[in-house]
Amino acid sequence: MRPARVVIPAVVIAALSAYLSHHVFDQWSQAIEPAQRVATLTQAAYGVLGVLAAAAALWRPRALGTLLALWVGAITATAVLAPVVWGGASWFVGLVSGLAAGAIAALLALWCLAASAASLWEDETRRRLAERVRWLNPQARALGQDDLPPDAHARERSAAHVDGRAARRREAITGALSAAQAAGRVCVAMAERPSDRAGAAGAD
């Protein structure tokens, strides 16, 4: 169950969206011009998106940001179109109405997003954060082996396996270089011996 700090903004958004769009069917039957139908569709859209965003805040937080962005856009579009196509107001009035409604919707969306974010007051969040910090420090990780989750030991064994392979590869490269250097010294020594013999024969 999600905490109250998440449930409250989700319920507010869902209730507000449902209340403001409950007469959308009546408006659709009364719509004559295409612009009126578009305004009715955007109104129905923010009603549906508000309920979906509330559900996402409670059960699917990853989709919350996208749904809230669409919800704010639908409210802004409806607030711009409704005064013009239904009330006969000017487009300036529609733009002012859209900016005001969009600002209010954006504040509600930010409230819901902030409430749905992970909080350090939650035990699960603190546990995950402690695990990540522990893995950044090898000494702390070595000291806390018993406190790690079961999959952490598997990750550690995998990391140790990779480190072992890298160490063996370095040893193989070092051995190959040493062998090449030794072979080079032997070749130099064999090349110097005939010249030494020739020098000795000339001296005789």
Tell me what pLDDT residue 75 has: 94
pLDDT tens per residue across span 17-26:
999 888 888 8
**Ramachandran bin of 2, using left for φ above 0, alpha for ψ from -120 to 50, beta for the remaining angles:** beta
pLDDT tens per residue across span 46-70:
999 999 999 999 888 888 999 999 9
Return the residue matching tokens 């409250």: 8
The overall pTM is greater than 0.95: no
Q: Residue 2: what are its φ and ψ, rounded to 5°?
A: -70, 150
Least confident of 35-39, 65-69, 103-107, 142-146: 142-146
For the cut 60, the answer to whether the pLDDT of residue 124 exceeds it is: yes
- The number of helices, as runs of H, and strands, as runs of E, in the chain is 8, 0
Q: Residue 92: what are its φ and ψ, rounded to 5°?
A: -65, -45
User: What is the residue-averaged pLDDT of the chain?
Assistant: 77
pLDDT tens per residue across span 147-179:
445 554 444 445 455 556 666 666 767 766 666
